[in-house]
Copies of this chain bind each other. A is one copy, B any other.
């Protein structure tokens, strides 16, 4: 297999925006987000339309922060968890921007950022945008059961984040995407759709092992090594899998699904998940810290479980993928 780490001279995240629901607003980083609606509805009459509206709002706020308009953006990379990715296709219809639809499950935010960085760095476009979302209510009824059924959740289950994150990427900026390593799809026999963390941890381990094997960096070089949505269960498995291979990331490790909710008070079991999870935590919690200089360098690993309800019912194990980005803030001496 090819293990080439892609290195970029000219790719920077110049703006980001987020829109979230009630539970995210009430969580430990609730003050960080740009927009929220405590009804989770965003003025729409179906959960799917609410999710689309969050995408529209998140991209609008990301563009408005830098005084940019749709005319400045050369390409949109977007996707979500809904069947046929309708969260994105409807949510972004207002924008007259060439549209690349993605499906990387919960890794979509990082997949979109990676492609945006590649496009800007190669000068195909001056400006790209990546947008993604998830919504607890639309995800529950599509993947599991409508929330009205009041189904019992297992201890390893995660809570789908209601939120959308948008990123604007240009060639120059303070917060730069300096390296990328796309993930390989794999499955290790997990077929429990209530344990996404376990299904995705091997993919994250594979990507991180390939990264450190082919890089001069060590875990201590990073302020944080953060996964998208492994949660408590998957995060523990990831650290164990890596330790068994001689790689100890535990002192630097965190997970967006752990960051976004309070374990004790919010009853989200194994933590947050969904395309929106890594998107809003990166957009509104991690990127501001890279911009302020509080963080110098992070690795973020977007994790996605690429099963469908039909494939699970047919007894198939759950394939997963994990895409890695190195994001660097203002460097010392600059």
> Which residues of A line the B interface, CB within 8 A?
1-2, 4, 6, 46, 48-49, 70-71, 73-75, 79, 81-86, 89-90, 92-93, 96-105, 111, 115, 118-119, 121-122, 124-125, 142, 181-187, 304, 306-311, 314, 316, 319, 321
Chain B residues, CB < 8 A from A304: 101
A86 touches which one: B73, B142, B310, B321 (CB < 8 A)?
Answer: B310
A73 to B49, CA, bound (A): 39
Q: Which residues of B contact A181 (CB under 8 A)?
A: 98
22 A-B pairs with C-beta separation under 8 A: A1-B71, A1-B96, A4-B74, A6-B124, A48-B311, A79-B101, A79-B103, A83-B84, A84-B307, A84-B311, A89-B321, A93-B185, A93-B319, A98-B182, A99-B183, A100-B104, A100-B182, A101-B105, A102-B102, A102-B103, A122-B122, A122-B124
Measured between beta carbons, the chain B residues less than 8 angstroms from A97 are 1-2, 184
Partner of A48, one of B2, B79, B310: B310
> Given the complex of chains A and B, what is the CA–CA distance between A98 and B203 in angstroms?
11
Bound: A4/B125 CA distance, A: 9
The chain B residue with its CB closest to the CB of A73 is B2
A99: which B residues are within 8 A, CB to CB? 182-185, 321
Question: Using Cβ atoms and an 8 Å threshold, which residues of chain B touch A100?
Answer: 102, 104, 111, 115, 182
Determine the chain B residues whose CB is within 8 A of the CB of A71 once the complex forms: 1-2
In the assembled complex, how far is the CB of residue A59 from the closest CB belonging to chain B, in whole angstroms? 13
Known: A4-B74, A118-B119. 17 other contacts (CB 8 A): A1-B71, A1-B96, A2-B98, A2-B125, A46-B314, A48-B310, A79-B103, A82-B310, A83-B308, A83-B309, A84-B311, A85-B306, A100-B182, A101-B102, A101-B103, A101-B306, A101-B321
Measured between beta carbons, the chain B residues less than 8 angstroms from A122 are 118, 121-122, 124
A79 CA to B321 CA, complexed, in Å: 14
- Given A84-B307, A307-B84, A184:B4 Cβ within 8 A: no
In the bound complex, residues from chain B placing their C-beta under 8 Å from that of A73 are 2
Given A46-B314, A73-B2, A115-B115, residue A105 in contact with residue B93 (CB < 8 A):
no
